[in-house]
C-alpha cells in the first residue's frame, strides 16, 4: 500500500540528490541498513582514520620509537589540531589548546577565569547545563572556599547577572532538549556586568556556525568525539581569547604547557597563548585519529553544514508532527536558529522506546526522565535516514512492539 511513507521517501531521496555535502558521506563507514542518529554522542568512523592509526602504530611507534616525537611530528600534534579546530569555532590557532577531556579543560578555564576576576565570587549557570559542568564548577568552588556556584533556570539568568558574578558558564546547546542559547546576547549581558562568558561547545562544534570572536567569548571548551567524529574519548579542546593571554593561568601547570619543556627548568614559564593550557604528554594514538578525522571538514563551509543540520532536523520535526502527533511529543524548539542539530522527543517510556528502536536498526539515545534523543550529523546523515527513522518509530508506536520486557532492562550506558 502506498502511503505517506513512500511519499516521504521519494522527497527525501530528491533532497539527498541535491545535497552539497553528499560526497563527504563517502568518507564515513556505517553498518549496512543502520540509521545512525547518535553522532552527537559518538561520531562515526572514517576508514581512513583506522589506516592512519595503524601506520602510526606499526611504523612510527614500532620502527621509529622515541625518534617519532621529532621525526613523525608527534610533538606538534596538539598545535596542528588546534589549527584545524580554530576555524570551526571562530578562533585563532593561538587561542586553542587540544588536550585532556572537556571536563578537565573546563576546570582549567574556570580556575583561569576566577583568577581574572579575583574580586567576584559567583559562577552563574543554568539548570539545563550538563551535569559534569556543574560538578567541575562545584569542585573548583570547594577548593577555593570562596566561590559559589549559582544554578538557576535559564529564563532567570538575566536576573542573576550582577556585579558578584565572576563568570557566566553555559553550554550552548542543551544536551537534553536541544535548545540553543543566544550566545552573542548572553555573552554581551555577562560583559555588561563585568563578568566573563565561558562557553561549553560540546554539542555545537562541527555542526553549528560557532563564532567565539564575534560573540566576544572569553573562555570556552568543547568535545571532539561528538560531531567532530574524532573517536571514543578523543582529546578535547580549550579556548582562551587573546586579550586574556597575558594574565592566563593554568591551575594544572605541566611541562607541555611550559615555554620550553625540554629545558627541564625548575621554574615554570608558561608557553605563549592557549598552549599553556596543555599539561602532560599528548595521547598520540587518539590525537592521530582526531587529526585524520578533521580532514572531513576540509573545504566545507560552516554555513553549509549548519544549513544541512537545519534541513535534517526540520524534516524530522515535520514528519513527527504530522504522523506521530499525540503519541510522542517534540520538545526541541521549532525555530531552527534556536536549536542544535538534535531533536528530542518526550515519551513516558522513553527508555524502552529507545531500546526498541535500536533493535529495529535506528540508533538514538535516552536521557532521563523521558527523552528519546536523536542527533543529526550533517556530514553523514541523509534525508532518507531521517525518513526511515520516523517510519520505524511510527510502526513501533502503532503496534506497541516497543513494550517488551527486554527493552525495559537498563544497560549501564544509555
Ligand X SMILES: *Cc1c(COP(=O)(O)O)cnc(C)c1O
Which positions are catalytic? 130, 200, 225-226, 373
- Residues 152, 155, 157: CA angle, nearest 5 degrees: 55
Q: Which is nearer to ligand X, 133 or 388 (CB)?
A: 133
Which stretch in 62-70, 130-138, 206-214, 302-310 sits in contact with ligand X by CB under 6 A?
130-138
Provide Rg for the chain, Cα atoms: 22
Question: If binding is defined by CB under 6 A, does position 174 make contact with ligand X?
Answer: no
Which stretch in 125-133, 178-186, 291-299, 320-328 sits in contact with ligand X by CB under 6 A?
125-133
Considering only 130, 227, 351, 376, the residue that binds ligand X (CB under 6 A) is 130
Question: To the nearest whole angstrom, how small is the minimum distance from the Cβ of residue 148 to ligand X?
Answer: 21
Contact 49, 294 (CB under 8 A): no
Helix (H) or strand (E) holding 149: strand 148-152
Q: Which is nearer to ligand X, 171 or 187 (CB)?
A: 171
How many chain residues interact with ligand X (CB under 6 A)?
A: 13
First to last CA, the chain: 36
Question: To the nearest whole angstrom, how small is the minimum distance from the Cβ of residue 224 to ligand X?
Answer: 9
Binding residues among 73-112 for ligand X as defined by CB under 6 A: 101-103
The partner residues of 36 in beta bridges, in order of sequence, read: 363
- By residue count, the chain amounts to 414
What's the grid cell of residue 216? 566576544
Strands (E), 39-99: 96-98
Considering only 68, 99, 125, 171, the residue that binds ligand X (CB under 6 A) is 171
How far is 401 from 395, CA to CA, in rounded Å? 8
Question: If binding is defined by CB under 6 A, does position 236 make contact with ligand X?
Answer: yes
Question: To the nearest whole angstrom, how small is the minimum distance from the Cβ of residue 366 to ligand X?
Answer: 15
Question: To the nearest whole angstrom, how small is the minimum distance from the Cβ of residue 101 to ligand X?
Answer: 3
How far is 299 from 310, CA to CA, in rounded Å? 20
Question: To the nearest whole angstrom, how small is the minimum distance from the Cβ of residue 329 to ligand X?
Answer: 23
Binding residues among 193-232 for ligand X as defined by CB under 6 A: 200, 202-203, 223
Residue of 43, 59, 53 lying closest to 284 (CA atoms): 53
DSSP 357-403: HHHTTEE-EEETTTEEEEE--TTT--HHHHHHHHHHHHHHHHHTTT-
Footprint on this chain of ligand X (rule: CB under 6 A) = 101-103, 130, 132-133, 171, 175, 200, 202-203, 223, 236
Amino acid at each position: 500500500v502506498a502511503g505517506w511513507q513512500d511519499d516521504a521517501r521519494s522527497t527525501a531521496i530528491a533532497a539527498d540528490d541535491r545535497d552539497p555535502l553528499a560526497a563527504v558521506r563517502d568518507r564515513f563507514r556505517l553498518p549496512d541498513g543502520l540509521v545512525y542518529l547518535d553522532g552527537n554522542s559518538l561520531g562515526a568512523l572514517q576508514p581512513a582514520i583506522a589506516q592512519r592509526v595503524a601506520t602510526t602504530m606499526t611504523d612510527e611507534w614500532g620502527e621509529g620509537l622515541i625518534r617519532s616525537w621529532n621525526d613523525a611530528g608527534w610533538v606538534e600534534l596538539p598545535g596542528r589540531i588546534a589549527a584545524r579546530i580554530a576555524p570551526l569555532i571562530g578562533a585563532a590557532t593561538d587561542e586553542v589548546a587540544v588536550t585532556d577531556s572537556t571536563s578537565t579543560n573546563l576546570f582549567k578555564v574556570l580556575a583561569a577565569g576566577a583568577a581574572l576576576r579575583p574580586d567576584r565570587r559567583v559562577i552563574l549557570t543554568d539548570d539545563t547545563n550538563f551535569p559534569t559542568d556543574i560538578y567541575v564548577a562545584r569542585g573548583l568552588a570547594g577548593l577555593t572556599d570562596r566561590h559559589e556556584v549559582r544554578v538557576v533556570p535559564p529564563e532567570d539568568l538575566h536576573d542573576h547577572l550582577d556585579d558578584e558574578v565572576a563568570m557566566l558558564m553555559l553550554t550552548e546547546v542543551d544536551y537534553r532538549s536541544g535548545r540553543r542559547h543566544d550566545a552573542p546576547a548572553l555573552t554581551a549581558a555577562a560583559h555588561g556586568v563585568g563578568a566573563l562568558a565561558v562557553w561549553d561547545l560540546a554539542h555545537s562544534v562541527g555542526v553549528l556556525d560557532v563564532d567565539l570572536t564575534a560573540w566576544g567569548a572569553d573562555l570556552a571548551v568543547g568535545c571532539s568525539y561528538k560531531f567532530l567524529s574524532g573517536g571514543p574519548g578523543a582529546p578535547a579542546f580549550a579556548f582562551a581569547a587573546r586579550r586574556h593571554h597575558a594574565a592566563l593561568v593554568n591551575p594544572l601547570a605541566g611541562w607541555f604547557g611550559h615555554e620550553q619543556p625540554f629545558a627541564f627548568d625548575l621554574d615554570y614559564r608558561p608557553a605563549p597563548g592557549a598552549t599553556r593550557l596543555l599539561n602532560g604528554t599528548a595521547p598520540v594514538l587518539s590525537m592521530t585519529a582526531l587529526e585524520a578525522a578533521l580532514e572531513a571538514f576540509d573545504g566545507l563551509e560552516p554555513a553549509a553544514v549548519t544549513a544541512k543540520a537545519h534541513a535534517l532536523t526540520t524534516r524530522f520535526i515535520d514528519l513527527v508532527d504530522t504522523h506521530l502527533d499525540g503519541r510522542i511529543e517534540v520538545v526541541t524548539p521549532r525555530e531552527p536558529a534556536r536549536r542544535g542539530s538534535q531533536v528530542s522527543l518526550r515519551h513516558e517510556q522513553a527508555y524502552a522506546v529507545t531500546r526498541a528502536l535500536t533493535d529495529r536498526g535506528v540508533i538514538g539515545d535516552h536521557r532521563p526522565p523521558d527523552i528519546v534523543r536523536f542527533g543529526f550529523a550533517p556530514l553523514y546523515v541523509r534525508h532518507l535516514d531521517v525518513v526511515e527513522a520516523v517510519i520505524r518509530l511510527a510502526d513501533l508506536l502503532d503496534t506497541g512492539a516497543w513494550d517488551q520486557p527486554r527493552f525495559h532492562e537498563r544497560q549501564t550506558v544509555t
